Amino acid sequence: MTNDPLNRRNFIKTTGAASVASLLVGAQNLHAGGANDKIKIGLIGLGGRGCGAGIIDCAEADSNIELVAMGDLFPDHLEAAKERIKANMARRNLPFNDIYKVTPDTMFSGFDAYQKVIACDVDLIILTTPPVFRPLHFRAAVEAGKHVFIEKPVAVDPVGVRHIIETSEMAEKKGLTVVAGTQMRRARHIMAGIEEIHSGAMGDLLSGQSTRIGGALSNWRSTEAIRDRSWSDMEWQLRRWLFTTWGSGDFIVEQHVHNLDLVDWVMGSHPIKAIGTGGRQNRTDSIYPNVWDHISVEYEYPNGARVTHIGSQMDGVSSRNDMRIDGTEGRLFLSFAKVSIEGKKPFNYEGPRPNPAVVEHKDTLDAIRSGNTINEGKRIAQSTMTALLGRMAAYTGRTLSWDWAMQASKLDLTPKEWKFGDLAIDPVAVPGQTDLV
C-alpha cells in the first residue's frame, strides 16, 4: 500500500471527521474577497444536470453569482439551455435576470466548447459533462487557475482516476477549491450517524449490505432515444452516453457511486478487493447500447469485513435504496432519508435537514470567498475507483485487488479521437468472457 495515493491512513485523515468544517484546509485562494463579491461562473455540460441541479442549486445556495459563460458539445442543447435554466429558476423563485449574464459571445458548442468557457472571465467552473470528459475538462480548468465544482463520478476507468488524482494535487498546490457532487456527504443525518460510528458506537464493523434497486431510466432524453440518420456512431453514443460504458462507466459507477461513497465513508477506507457478477435482462432494447441492468459485488475491507452491494436499473421491479452495517456492538440502518443505530449506544437523528445539494454549492462559494479552500478531488477519485473496481470485477468475473486496479490496470475507455465519425461499440460484457485490462 505504500504506493497507493489513497491508502487507509490518508483516507481516514481526510474524511474521518464528519463535519464540513473538517474539509477546509486553509490555503490561499485566488478569489478571496468579501462576502458580497459576485462570483462569475462558467457552466460546461447543459443536459439535465447542468441546466437543472447544477446551476440551480448553486443559485439557491447564493444568488450573488453570475452565470457568464456556458458550453455543450451539441448546438441544440446549447440553444435550449437559456429557457430551461429560466424555467428551473422560476420554479424556485430565483432572480434569473440578476444571475443569467450569458451573451451570444459566451455561448459555445463543439468538442472545444470547454476550452472556450474556461478562457472566459470566470472564477468557478461547474462540470456537468458526461463522466468520460471529466478528467480532460478538470485538468484544463485547473491549469487555467479556475475553481471547480465537479459532478460525480469523475472517471470511467483507472487511467482516468489516476489523472484526476494528479490534477487534484495540482489544484492543491495552486490553492484552488475543488468540490465534488457527492451531496450525501453533506446530509446532516448521515454526517451525524457516521460520526457516531467513527466514535465507536458500533464497536468493530463486521459486515454489511448496500442496496440500490430502481427504474430503468427509460424516459431519459426520450426525444433522442431513436437514432437520427444524420448522427454518426460517435454522436449517437454521446447523445446516449448514460447507456454506454465508455461514456458513463455503467450505472454502478454513474449513479451508485453515491451509495459506495457512503460505504467507504462508514468503513473508514476503500476496499482491498472485490468479486462480482451481473448482466442485462430487462433493458435490452437497442436504445441501451451496452450497459448492464443488474449487478452484485462483494467488497472486502482492510479489517476483513465484507459488504455486498446489490444494484439494478429495471422497470417493473420493487425499488429500494439503503444500507445496513453490522458491528460487534450495534447495527446501522442508513438511507438518503434517515439513519439509526441499534445496540449498546442507540442513535436516531432528529436535527435540521437542509438540502445537501444546495449546501455543497454554498460550501464551494464560501470557500472561494474566504480563501479557506476545499479540495475533494482525491476523495471522489477514491469513491469512483471503488465503483470501478466492482464493475471491472463483475464484467470479467475475476476477483480483483484495489492495488492492481489502481496501479497496474491500463484500462482506458476514452476514444482515440474526439470527433464525430465511426466508432465501434464494445459488446455487452459477459463474466468469464470479457477481457481483463
Asked if residue 421 is part of any domain, the answer here is no
Torsion of CA 340, 341, 346, 351, to 10 degrees: -30
From the list 353, 306, 283, 346, the residue with the least C-alpha distance to 210 is: 306
Alpha-carbon 36 to chain mean position: 30
Residue 30 shares a structural domain with residue 151: yes
Q: Are 291 and 394 in contact (CB under 8 A)?
A: no
C-alpha count within 13 angstroms, C-beta hemisphere, residue 121: 6
Give the strand order in the sheet containing 124-127: 107-109, 65-72, 39-44, 124-127, 147-150, 178-180
Asked if residue 343 is part of any domain, the answer here is yes
Domain count, the chain: 2
Residue 111 shares a structural domain with residue 229: no
Residue 366 shares a structural domain with residue 391: no
Residue 140 shares a structural domain with residue 206: no
Q: Are 28 and 371 in contact (CB under 8 A)?
A: yes
Q: Quote the domain boundaries for residue 108.
A: 8-185+358-383
From the list 178, 114, 174, the residue with the least C-alpha distance to 151 is: 178
Residue 235 shares a structural domain with residue 303: yes
Asked if residue 437 is part of any domain, the answer here is no
Asked if residue 420 is part of any domain, the answer here is no
- List the Cα angle 62/191/16 in 5-degree steps: 110
Residue 58 shares a structural domain with residue 166: yes
Phi and psi at 391, nearest 5°, equal -65, -45
Cell 487511467 sits at which residue? 159
Residue 175 shares a structural domain with residue 239: no
In the chain, the amino acid numbered 384 is T
Question: pLDDT per position in the chain (437 positions), as tens?
Answer: 434 545 433 433 344 333 333 333 333 335 545 556 899 999 999 988 889 888 999 999 999 999 999 999 999 999 999 999 999 999 999 999 999 999 999 999 999 999 999 999 999 999 999 999 999 999 999 999 999 999 999 999 999 999 999 999 999 999 999 999 999 999 999 999 999 999 999 999 999 999 999 999 999 999 999 999 999 999 999 999 999 999 999 999 999 999 999 999 999 999 999 999 999 999 999 999 999 999 999 999 999 999 999 999 999 999 999 999 999 999 999 999 999 999 999 999 999 999 999 999 999 999 999 999 999 999 999 999 999 999 999 999 999 999 999 999 999 999 999 999 999 999 999 999 999 99
- List the Cα angle 268/373/176 in 5-degree steps: 110
Q: Are 399 and 393 in contact (CB under 8 A)?
A: yes
Residue 73 shares a structural domain with residue 95: yes
Contacts of 416 (CB under 8 A, 6+ apart): none
Q: What is the pTM of this model?
A: 0.92
